[in-house]
Amino acid sequence: MTTADAEGRAPDPGVAEQARRAAVRAFRPYRMWPTVVAAVLLLAVAGAAASQVISALAGVPLGIPIVDTAARQVGDARWDDPEVQVASAVLALIGLLLIVVALLPGEGRWAALRTDDPDLLVGLSRTALRRTLTAAVLGAGGVESARVVVRRRRIRVRVRTELAETEELRAAVTAAVEERLADIAPLRPYRLTVDVRRTQT
């Protein structure tokens, strides 16, 4: 239910778009682990290099074996050496990969819900969404067990039944899930897949 529905009038398209953008920004999933790993690696490399340079300028080099070996190899290398070109290409690919990982959204733990009010942001955890959809599936007659998997843009429902006719049950489960999703009103649509299998007796 939206705030405009509660007041009995249609939502303003401009306000609804502002609400959608606000919800997308608020519930946008971020990739924390790649960021943390990259930051730690860069900090370690920069710290080791800075320590070596500062200690060398002070006249008491630390003598870190890895840094010394790398410094000698870099000092003797030329830009047209195959090793330098390969290393440059690998570093460029790693940098490009980090940029792509940072730009692509991850698997968020929250599903933003439509409110048509930019000051009202509502989210439902994927666990809660999975539970409420599972309850809707189990409410369909003939369902023995159900398993619901919620992904970023996809919902997969696996149902076990003792019924001989599975097509009618698939249609009933699909309708139940779609009806529950319509009540919840997620901001972004989900692609629904329903798999019904007979229990082996």
pTM here?
0.55
Range of the domain at 114: 110-198
* Alpha-helical segments (H) within 104-166: 126-138
Say whether both 87 and 118 belong to one domain.
no
> Is residue 2 domain-resident?
no
- 147 strand-pairing partners: 158
Number of structural domains, the chain?
2
Q: What span, in angstroms and rounded, lies between the C-alpha atoms of 127 and 63? A: 52
Span 157-182, pLDDT tens digits: 999 998 877 888 899 999 999 999 99
CATH code, 157: 3.30.70.1350
Residue 21 has pLDDT above 90, yes or no: no
Chain centroid to CA 180: 23
Residue 2 has pLDDT above 50, yes or no: no
* 3-state DSSP assignment of residue 82: helix
* 3-state DSSP assignment of residue 190: coil
> Is residue 5 domain-resident?
no
* pLDDT value, residue 86: 84
Q: Rounded to 5 degrees, what angle do the CA atoms 78, 64, 66 make?
A: 50
